[in-house]
Amino acid sequence: MKLFCRILITLVLLGSNNVLADVVVECPTWADPGHTQIDYTGGTFADGNSDGMIRADDGEITDPISATQVCLHLAAGDGLVNMADGYEQYMFGFANATGTAAADVLNTFMEGAVFPAPTIKVKQGDDVYITLTNVGMNRRPDLFDPHTVHWHGFPNASAIFDGVPDASVSINMGSSLTYFYHVVDPGTFMYHCHVEATEHMQMGMLGNLYVTASQDEVANGTVLGTYTKQAGDRFAYNDGDGSTRYDVDYPLQLAAFDPAFHDASLNVQTLPFADMDDKYPMFNGRGYPDTLAAAGALPYEHGASSPVSTLMTPTAGDRMLIRISSLSTTSFHTIGIFGLKMQVIGRGSRQVVEPYTTNSITIGGGESVDVIVDTTGTTAGDKYFLYATNLDHLSNDAEDYGGMMTEIQIQ
């Protein structure tokens, strides 16, 4: 079946678009020793340190056009992912194709989308090139959907790189489009496809995206207001006073699937937009207790789970930064930690003017909130539950004790 569809899609690509479809990875480089000519298509470089991206400052780009250049390649298409009750869901999504030769991308990533989308973590000041290749829908060869990348919350975005299909362009099957972002601000963002947003987002084209602060780079011993930077300190924002300091950070993206919608998509049925009703609330693509399992897809009888773990394992005394974002398409969610308090230090990718302490965070689709959890006073072996206090979001469809829940296991 897979092979058949692959051939069919290939034929359609050749037929409908002639030979105009083309996978092109844009990671620009200097074309000449005098640095006057840019080779926009640069080349495909190897991800030497396996951090999921090609970085000039990791020495992975030959003749980069800027010292802060970062290149990523995402493949957009379809795939399958198991829910925590074992139910396999058809999905649309992204996969990290960074480092794959252009000629191999369609074959390698067809039906290879993962949920959630690969986490994008870059640094303030980076010049980020994200190439998006539309590899088509292997299970739905009747579909010809374009895709986009929408960097949700990017400040002073241009329309062309904002990924809203109505406002600019989206990329057709078999082709590639490269987005550029000069990353000015640190913070917790998110990304998703914006084509037919209700459908493509419910189907899973969602991922974590955050930018680390340049204050991370200051030398140990630097005085930041009333605080002096210590070894290992990192900062959610350029706070100038250490108030957003953390030892360990965890992205926590909320999203949920409606199996009736996903099944309708797989079975070429009318999509139930008005009756969309999520039954699988998830943290980073998994329901509890799968949220606790280590990184790497969990095998099920048919297929496998999301590869992302949401187990949090701070050492007692650590300040944890939890980067909460929601890309839920139907609901608000409220998140609490039983026994630990949260200090809200950021929202909407900006440091908040007035931090406050709370036991619950209510978050709607497209919102992000940064909280610091200070584990001072806890002991190794302690366990705390982080969960949706909307108790109906604690299930994997009919299965109880699931959904939006994970554990903070103190080391």
Where in 305-364 is the site for Cu ion (CB under 5 A)?
Answer: none
Q: Per CB under 8 A, which of residues 295..314 are in contact with other proteins?
A: none
CA atoms within 13 A on the CB side of 304: 14
Query: What tokens appear for 115 in the block?
Result: 């949920």
Containing 261, the helix (H) or strand (E) segment is: helix 259-266
Strands laid side by side in the 333-337 sheet: 360-363, 333-337, 383-388, 405-409
Query: Site residues for Cu ion, window 142-181 (CB under 5 A)?
Result: 147, 152
Question: Is residue 273 a contact point for other proteins (CB under 8 A)?
Answer: yes
143 binds, among Cu ion, other proteins, none (CB under 5 to 8 A by kind): other proteins
CB of 308 to other proteins, least distance (A): 22
Q: Which is nearer to other proteins, 63 or 247 (CB)?
A: 63
| Binding of residue 140 to Cu ion (CB under 5 A) | no
Q: Candidates 31, 248, 276, 292: give the one binding other proteins (CB under 8 A).
A: 276
The correct pick among 3, 15, 18, 381 for binding other proteins (CB under 8 A) is 18
My answer on whether omega of the bond before 33 falls inside 30° of 0, hence cis, is no
Q: Lay out the site mask for other proteins across 174-203 (x = CB under 8 A, - = otherwise).
A: xxxxxxxxx-x---------x-xxxx-xx-
Out of 9, 114, 117, 193, the residue judged to bind Cu ion by CB under 5 A: 193
For other proteins, the binding residues in 327-386 under the rule CB under 8 A are 328-332, 347-350, 352-354, 362, 364-368
Distance between CA atoms of residues 72 and 96, nearest Å:
8
Among 74, 195, 224, 236, binds Cu ion (CB under 5 A): 195
Query: Quick one: which segment of 101-109, 185-193, 214-222, 370-378 binds Cu ion (CB under 5 A)?
Result: 185-193
Tokens read off for 308: 């992302």
What does the alpha-carbon distance between residue 291 and residue 303 come to, in Å, rounded to a whole number?
17
Residue 72 sits at φ, ψ, to 5 deg, of -130, 150
- Closest CB to Cu ion among residues 199, 233: 199
Please count the residues of this chain forming the interface with Cu ion, following the rule CB under 5 A: 7
**Residue among 115, 117, 80, 88 at smallest CA distance from 397:** 88
Residue 164, contacted partner among Cu ion, other proteins, none, CB below 5-8 A by kind? other proteins
Q: Residue 406 binds which one of other proteins, Cu ion, none, with CB within 5 to 8 A depending on kind? A: none
Rg of the chain on CA atoms, in Å: 21
Closest approach, Cβ 195 to Cu ion, in A, equals 4
Q: How far is CA 404 from CA 243, 303, 396, 401, in A?
A: 29, 21, 9, 9
DSSP state of 215: G
CB burial class (10 A; 0-12, 13-18, 19+) of residue 145?
buried
DSSP assigned state of 294: P
Site for other proteins in 149-178 (CB under 8 A): 152-153, 155-160, 162, 164-172, 174-178
Interface contacts to Cu ion, rule CB under 5 A: 147, 152, 193, 195, 200, 205, 366
